[in-house]
Every structure is written in C-alpha cells, then in structure tokens.
Amino acid sequence: MPRVLIVEDERAIAESLEFALRRDGFEVAFAPTLRAAEAQLDSADLIVLDLMLPDGSGFDLLSRLRGSERRVPVIILTSRDEEADRVAGLEGGADDYVIKPFSPREVVARIRAVLRRAQPPRRLPASAAGRLSIDAGTRRCTYDGTPLDLTRTEFDLLHALASAPDRVFTRQQLIERIFGEGYAVTDRTIDAHIKALRRKLSAAGGDPELIETERGVGYRLRA
C-alpha cells in the first residue's frame, strides 16, 4: 500500500488523519517538523504538508521537492482564511489542497484521487468528465455527441482542465498552459473564457457547473 507522510505539528490533526488512512490500508509516517520530514522524504509515496511548522514553512519543503528529480505528489493543508496560500501552493507545485478543519474521509478521498492521477500511464484527457469528449488531434469537442463550437482559447482551456479532472488550476496556471509563460493576460480574460465555455456547454445540453469555480483560487473540471 502507498505510504503517506504527514508533515503536521498539531498532534490531533495528524492522528485523526493517520487513523483514517490506516483504516483504509495506507501506511503512514509522521513528521512534526521540516527537519523530521527531510529524513523520511525518500520513502513517501505522497506527502500531506502543513504550511505552518515550528521550524519553518511548508512552502520551503515544497519548493525543494519541486526542484528535485523525484516527483512525489503533495497535498497542502491550509486554513480557511489563507486563500493566498492555496494559490501559492498550487502554483508552487502542490497537487491539491485541503482546508482545515477537514474531514479525514475527505482527505483520504483526495489522496486517492491524487495518487490515481500520479500513476503512469497518466489518464488521457480525451474522455474526462464522462460525457464530454475532447479530441486533441482534431481539436473537436462534443458533449453527448453534440459538437461544441469552441474558439482556440476555449478549446485549450477545456483541454487543460480535462488533463487532470478534479484538480484545481489557478488562473495563472491556466494562462501559462494556454498562452505560455510571460504572456500578458489578466485573470479576467480566463474568467471570460470560462463563462463562454459554460454557456456553450449548457447550449449543448450539458451542466455548465461541470466547470467548477474554486473561489479565490481557480477552476476545476468535475470528474
């Protein structure tokens, strides 16, 4: 079973998560500090990372991990009022985030989803969200067989979201994927394209809320 490293200094939080993970058959390791985490990184299949730790910020560990060869998935733990941290976490390479206080069951479900996505071969974007079909080769997109007439940017946006269903993308990440780095596009541009996409989805008989807004963070395509 996968081994999850919980980097969290609040004992009660770490224990509730440990209990839920063990019940589901995961192996669990603990680290109450960044220092303790360093020693256990190599054996972890996934890291649940608190941001505020006694000897520093979880962000430091995240950026070290992302600068290294090994691509271990990371889920960050943030507080409800730390929206900026969520954005920074995702942009710093976290795979997902969980808001405290959380239900351990929800975290286990997120961990499963992230591990599934991290597995090679990666799920192909073509059939994300079930009834939505996206063909990157022909750049055609249909919902239940009804073609969606998308602009280039709308197609690229939907394709990016569908590359990791259920994952939240920040607006900046979407801009980089679609336009490339350093391109001067504002967040509002993305919002406008999302709005158009939802309208076209809806016109084809789909649920416009297939594309979910994660308030203050970005967007995700519901799996």
Residues that bind Ca ion (CB under 5 A): 9, 50, 52
Tokens of 163: 């590359």
Contacts of 157 (CB under 8 A, 6+ apart): 174, 178, 190, 193, 194, 197
Instruction: Between 6 and 129, name the residue whose CB sits nearer to Ca ion.
Output: 6
Instruction: Between 52 and 72, name the residue whose CB sits nearer to Ca ion.
Output: 52
Q: Are 85 and 51 in contact (CB under 8 A)?
A: yes
Task: Round to whole Å and give the CA distance between 33 and 38.
Answer: 9
Q: Whole-number minimum distance, CB 88 to Ca ion, in Å?
A: 16
Q: Whole-number minimum distance, CB 10 to Ca ion, in Å?
A: 5
Eight-state DSSP code of residue 165:
T
Instruction: Between 7 and 157, name the residue whose CB sits nearer to Ca ion.
Output: 7
Beta bridge partners of 68: none
Q: Whole-number minimum distance, CB 57 to Ca ion, in Å?
A: 10
**Of the candidates 45, 44, 46, 56, the residue with the CA atom closest to the CA atom of residue 9:** 56
CA angle at 213 for the pair 191 and 89, rounded to the nearest 5° = 95
Instruction: Between 52 and 185, name the residue whose CB sits nearer to Ca ion.
Output: 52
Q: Whole-number minimum distance, CB 198 to Ca ion, in Å?
A: 37
| Residue type at 199 in one-letter notation | R
Instruction: Between 52 and 115, name the residue whose CB sits nearer to Ca ion.
Output: 52
**Of the candidates 216, 126, 217, the residue with the CA atom closest to the CA atom of residue 165:** 126
Q: Whole-number minimum distance, CB 168 to Ca ion, in Å?
A: 22
Instruction: Between 9 and 27, name the residue whose CB sits nearer to Ca ion.
Output: 9
Number of residues assigned to the chain:
223
Q: Whole-number minimum distance, CB 74 to Ca ion, in Å?
A: 16
Closest CB to Ca ion: residue number: 52
Task: Round to whole Å and give the CA distance between 199 and 202.
Answer: 5
